[in-house]
Every structure is written in C-alpha cells, then in structure tokens.
Amino acid sequence: MPGLNVGIIGTGSMAAAHAEAFRRVRGVRVAACLDVVPGRAEAFALRHGIPLATPQRSALFDAVDAVSIVTPDAFHAEQAIAALDAGKHVLCEKPLAVTLDEARAVARAAARRPDLVGMVNFSYRRSSAMQAATRVVASGRLGDLRHVQAHYLQSWLSADMWGHWSSERFLWRLQTAAGSGGVLGDVGVHIMDLASAVAGPVARVRCDLRTYPKIAGGKRHTRWKGKALDANDTALVTLDFVDGASGVVQATRWATGHTNHLRLEVHGTRGALRFDLDESYQRLQLCVGRDVHRSTWRSRDFAPGPDIWQRFCRAIRTRRHEQPDLLRGAVVQAQLDACLRSARSGNWERVAAVGERAAA
C-alpha cells in the first residue's frame, strides 16, 4: 500500500506533538508544513525533518494526501472546509469551530465528501477505560442513568509548572480577541465530549462562566500589553440528558494542585462506573450487581488503545470512518453554543440539532 503524506497547518507548540505522533505511524510521512508567521514553518521543518515549508496553502495541498490543522481555534473551520474542498483528509484540533454556524458549515462540507476521512482531536478518546465505559452504558448494565459528574481541572493560572500564563503558548487562550473560547472551548470541550459520548446526547444545559484577574508579579491583571484577558477561565455546567439523567460538568484553570485532571462518574439505577485519567487511562471502576448494596467498587484494566493519529491513518487506509468525526465535532460545538447562550441569558438553553446522522 502506498505511503501517506500528511501536511501540518500551523506550527505552534501543539504542532510538534502532531509531527512526532505521525512519525510513529508506519508508512506515514509528514511531507509539508505551513505557517503564516515568517520563518516559523522553516524552523519547524528543520527541527522535524519535513521537506517542504510554505506559507501557501495551495502548495501544501499539492504535496499531501491529508492535513492536520493545528492553528488557533478561530481558523479551524475555514481551513477544514478548504482542505475538504481540495480533496484532502482532515484531522482538526479541537474545538472544530468557534461558532455553531461554522461547525455546521464544516459538517456540510464533510457530507459532500463522504470519501474523505475527517476527525477531531478529542485526544482523551484514546483512553481504553473511556471506550469500555461507553460499551458498559450502551449494554444497559447500569440500568437507567440518573446522575453524571465530570471535571477537567488545570492549574496553570495558579502555578508555572508548564510556563507562565503570559508566554506565547498560553496568552492567546486568555484573550477573546485572539479567537479563544476560554476554558470552555479549550478543555471544557474535552470533558463535554467524554460525558456525552459515555452517557448519551444532551438535551439542554445551564452554564455559568467566570473570568478572574490573572496574577503576575504579585499584581492582578485584567489586561496584558494593552489587550483584555477576557476569555472565561472557569465553567460550571448543569446538564439534562435526552434519556432523563442529570449531570454536572466543571472545567477550570484555577484548580491549584491539579496539573491536568479528568474524571467521569456515571450512576444508574442498577450500577455505576467511573474512571480517572490522572490515575490511569486504562482502568475502569465498576459498582454493579451485588456490589451495589455494599458500595463496593472493582477495577478492571484494559489494553491501551490507538491514539487519534493512528486511528486517523487507519481510517484513511481502510476507508472506514471512525469517531470522533467532524459531525461529532459539530455536535459538541452545539453543546458549547448552548452553554454560551445560557451564560448570557442565565436560563436553561436547549442544545440545537446539527445533522440527521447520530454521532457517539
């Protein structure tokens, strides 16, 4: 089978992870990279042994079979549509878009090209515990779901473990002017995806978004170098699921003591499950059967699963679409859209429909 040539659009900090991950996939070559910042693509190409560095999208498209979009959020939708229209398979960083209208446009572009693979990098889908949890719920083993609770906790606004928030890597994430959707769009999108992938589709949400002053040099800052630090940094979401369960999802950058902590619990009438990705990506805990009456939890470890880059390349080669696809990205964007509407209105807001085909 011929090799697969991949191009990377955007060569910021996250792009290195894409280049290294594709390099580990047999038969795949990162053949080109693109960045609009002068000199950045060339430096990235030199570091990663990529033969073509270009600021021109047409030149990149001519050199590759597939693209990996690793630009700031505001550019995802337009670039994904352009790649699909050019006949390229697409792996897009999350979130798929910054508005529901944009996400719907990507979903329509993907529907026009069913021969192309499109996926969104909800990277925590690689957890085999999460995949097992989805199967357990679908089997009905937990009975009727009643309560879901999940969180994604980070601490980089209160600790410099990964570098200070004012560095290039982080600063754009704090500014709506730079296209940031805040903690809701950056990491809340992951935990909303996990919660609804495991527990089922969401009917409506109620959301509270907070933005606190940032701290540097012992002072509080709401602006930095003349630009507002106005993107939300804490999201508190209450959910009603289509099947009747209720849930709570939290995401924050102020969780001191938690570098990058994801956890999900699902409770039903006949059992419960939970997984904690700080503990293990492979360990699922269950409380079912007779253990329900003793509140006893038992753990089971599953073999590690393929990551998003491996599954993207596998889908291209086998011509079998895999989740999370671009429609799933639009479905999660509809959840974020409802959260944003609720944060403005203070009311419950329904999650809008995206397309006819269900995406889990």
Q: Which of 101, 124, 147 is the last residue of a domain?
A: 124
With pLDDT > 90 as the criterion, what percentage of the chain qualifies? 92
Domain of residue 75, CATH code: 3.40.50.720
d(CA 310, CA 52): 23
Q: Using the CB atoms, write b or e for 129-144: b if 16+ within 10 Å.
A: bbbbbbebbeeeebee
The predicted model gives 181-190 an average pLDDT of 95
Domain of residue 309, CATH code: 3.30.360.10
With pLDDT > 70 as the criterion, what percentage of the chain qualifies? 98
Q: Which of 73, 89, 124 is the last residue of a domain?
A: 124
d(CA 167, CA 160): 10
Q: Is the pLDDT of residue 79 over 90?
A: yes
pLDDT at 162: 80
Q: Is the pLDDT of residue 194 over 50?
A: yes
Q: How confident is residue 355, by pLDDT bands cut at 50, 70 and 90? A: low
Q: How confident is residue 61, by pLDDT bands cut at 50, 70 and 90? A: very high
pLDDT at 359: 35
Count of domains forming the chain: 2
3-state class (DSSP) for residue 329: helix
Alpha carbon distances (Å) from 39 to 18, 58, 166, 286:
19, 18, 22, 52
pLDDT at 163: 83
3-state class (DSSP) for residue 149: strand
pLDDT at 168: 83
pLDDT digits (tens, 9 = 90+) for 291-343: 999 999 999 999 998 999 999 999 999 999 999 999 999 999 999 999 999 99
The residue segments making up the domain with residue 15 are: 4-124
State the residue for tokens 């995802």. 76
pLDDT at 360: 36
pLDDT digits (tens, 9 = 90+) for 96-145: 999 999 999 999 999 999 999 999 999 999 999 999 999 999 999 999 99
d(CA 96, CA 228): 24
The predicted model gives 196-222 an average pLDDT of 97
Q: Is the pLDDT of residue 357 over 70?
A: no
Q: Which of 104, 124, 144 is the last residue of a domain?
A: 124
pLDDT at 315: 97
Does residue 86 share a domain with residue 9? yes
Q: Which of 177, 167, 145 has the alpha carbon at shortest distance from 246? A: 145
- Whether the CB-CB separation of 166 and 174 falls below 8 Å is answered with no
Q: Is the pLDDT of residue 71 over 60?
A: yes
Does residue 291 share a domain with residue 261? yes
Q: Is the pLDDT of residue 40 over 90?
A: yes
The predicted model gives 146-165 an average pLDDT of 93
Does residue 138 share a domain with residue 120? no
- H-helix or E-strand spanning residue 121: strand 118-121
Does residue 277 share a domain with residue 136? yes
Residue spans of alpha helices (H) in the chain: 15-23, 40-48, 57-63, 76-85, 100-112, 128-139, 168-171, 182-183, 189-199, 291-294, 308-318, 326-345
Beta strand 298-301 pairing with 145-154: unpaired
Residue 50's CB: how many other CB atoms inside 10 A? 21
Amino acid at 287: C
Does residue 263 share a domain with residue 137? yes
Q: For residue 359, is it within any domain?
A: no
Amino acid at 160: D
Q: How confident is residue 26, by pLDDT bands cut at 50, 70 and 90? A: very high
Pull the structure tokens for residue 99: 């508005």
Considering the chain, what is the average pLDDT of its residues? 95
pLDDT at 345: 98
State the residue for tokens 């999802």. 249
Pull the structure tokens for residue 107: 């979903």
Q: Which of 171, 179, 253, 163 has the alpha carbon at shortest distance from 212? A: 253
The structure's pTM equals: 0.93
